[in-house]
Chains A and B, each alone.
Chain A
Amino acid sequence: MKEALQEEMMDLVVVGGGPCGMAAAAAARGAGLSRVLLLEQGDTLGGVLPQCIHDGFGPEQQTGPEYALDLRDQVDRAGVIVETKTTALHVSGQGPYTLWAAGPHLGAKQIPARSILFATGCRERTRGQLRIPGARPAGVFTAGAAQWMMNVQNMLPGKSVLILGLGNIGLIMARRLTLEGVKVKGIVGERASGLMRNYVQCVKDWSIPVYWGHTICSIHGRRRLRGVTIAPLNSAGQMDLGKKQYLPCDTLLVAAGLIPEQALFAGREDVAYLDGSTAIQNGGALFACGNAVRVYDTVEEVTAWGAYAGQVAARRLLGAADALQTLPPVGVEARKLQEADLVSLQEEDTLFCLLCPKGCRLQFGADGSLKGNGCAAGARFAEEERSAPRRMVTATVRLLGGAQPLLPVKTSVPVPKEKALEVARVCKRLKVQAPITRGTVLIPQVGGTAADLLAASDG
């Protein structure tokens, strides 16, 4: 592989080995490009997927690590050249281009490329960007950074946590921390951007307090975070300091949105942003796609746009006249959390379907009849959710002798909701020895349920 990289021109370099980049690289090979190089900074392909150990990815509602493994298989089968642990630093030239990269396999390297696709994903908005005043003690993290530490590195960010932000990462982390026995003191959010189903499963299920319409005024603590002061926002968007309150906590997770990571190409005007929003005019061969362009709600969309971008890049390079007429993917319907829905959640007869991101609002009539479901599975879900709700449990277990200290796991089928915490406790105690392949049954009928505990990744 290293030899193949020597001086020879790449047809396409895809920067970023997350779902967008993996789908793009595989699709570009499938569309006829011969030398496609995929660069990933992390130890393995996957981008953020390996840290997203929860389920809900793709049509089969896989966990993040499973979804990543499947895409990785596609990349392998397509014959893409892959370099992990490699960081793209700089792009120069007007086509062909030179990509400057560095990594422990390549050293510092200039890679010649006929075209480049930026699938660089996002970074998180930080406390500094939000300009939250106050002290600077230990214990303030962005939520995604905390997720990676917790789910991949076996590092515990805190024991008593407040989350800022009602986006998906904030919601997901609320459940994740709860399952690990961490006290989640609440979620503070100016407005919601997360999905309804995440709200139901991650916050409502666990009765976590939500400070809707609030924001953080100040951070307190010297050695360690001691607490934060929050206040509601009035209609003009100003803090109403008369109603401020103090919430003690030792950790703050900032989950206040994602920013497309465009540092590599921000200065250039010859990059085609493939997000369907504007017609692509320029004749160059630099492309940007996925979350690097616009933040999507679901991985399905990101993957579809990645595959689309890979095809566009390939057709452009192969001289297809209609390269840019390739049909862009259709969006995935997803129900975002809204205040009105929160109100109806209080009603006995209203449920939200958790089977897919669509999150249908299900309503039972007085006669027991059901309205609102978009499919037959939704009807079955509604019945079950009313009588005996069940949930998938995803967690990690300690992995001994592996490349990583933790192995992601999941239940083979959903377990009764009230058993979820017991299953999580079993996971907390369990230690398994590497090597382990994905799908291995680690504990049959875990926690006295009908579900088996499965390895959700190789380890």
Chain B
Amino acid sequence: MIDAMRDAMLAWGDTGLVGWTVLKILVIAVPVIIAVAMFVWWERKVIGWMHVRMGPNQIGPWGLLQAFADVFKLLFKEVTRPSAANKTLFYLAPLIALVPSFAAWSLLPFDWGLTLANVNVGLLLLLALTSLGVYGIILAGWSSNSRYAMLGAMRAAAQTVSYEIAMGFTLVCVMILSGSLNLTEIVMAQAGNKGFFDWFGFPLAPMLVIYFVSGVAETNRAPFDMAEGESEIVAGFHVEYSGSAFALFFLAEYANMLLIAFVATVLFAGGWLSPLQGWITADVPWFDWIWKGGWQWTFIKAFGFSFLYLWFRATFPRYRYDQIMRLGWKVFIPICLVWIVVSACLKYFNLVTMGA
């Protein structure tokens, strides 16, 4: 049916191609928005359980509709603006924060061939796009014309730029091992018949940890949420935002969190490959994705990684600012530099095998 739809669209020529691409974008973007809503519900539920509370339980079954209730509340609220704010930038900032976080989703491979843009320099493009999100935060902080917002923006900018370096280095290790920048090829380099021992999470275990912690810092989430430390600077860069403008920041932050979880899956946990790959080879309809791999695994693993975000938030107290900087510059970057050499040696002496 989908093939017939595509052929019908492509018969229109260039217009049809654009329309088909827009359709594909919607197929990714709409589920991301819904996933963000459900993830907010899941976050509140999980943190509630960890705090021995109920979490949301009033609206809908198990409180499932709570997130949508919040969304509607935010959408109907008035969008206020400080009278001395820079009007254009004030309204532009949430959009600038949102666009890169959604654009990066187009690069993710969910299954073999199941990706919107199979770019050759995918990994670099991903890094470039995620590094653009900080502009939204800086502009929000500056254009609000408020000291708290400004301080939050400064903190966010310094933190994001610092952790981007460590994150880039972890990606370098993945590039060295896989020999490619294409995300699909990176996943296929982790295929093999040794089950989950073939994934890059094994030879690059410290890099997986550093990547994920940098990802947490990059998205300004607890315990690295200095940018919105409510005990010192109220709510940081989005203190002056209300209603739907605030909702956009919220959406961007959660879309980024889920993105980091998916990218960690693709780079270090074998993407759609099964942890049982090569151990079972039976053909069973409906169930053989469990050992042959399929899009289900991508989502299961990403769900696991995104759960870590919630676990961190419920467990760790917030870092002090100088400690964040120390962790990024003096701990992560040296470890990364050493591990780049290690992974180069692994590759040179053929200690890890690429692909099946």
Report whether chain A binds chain B: no
**Residues of B with Cβ closer than 8 Å to A?**
none
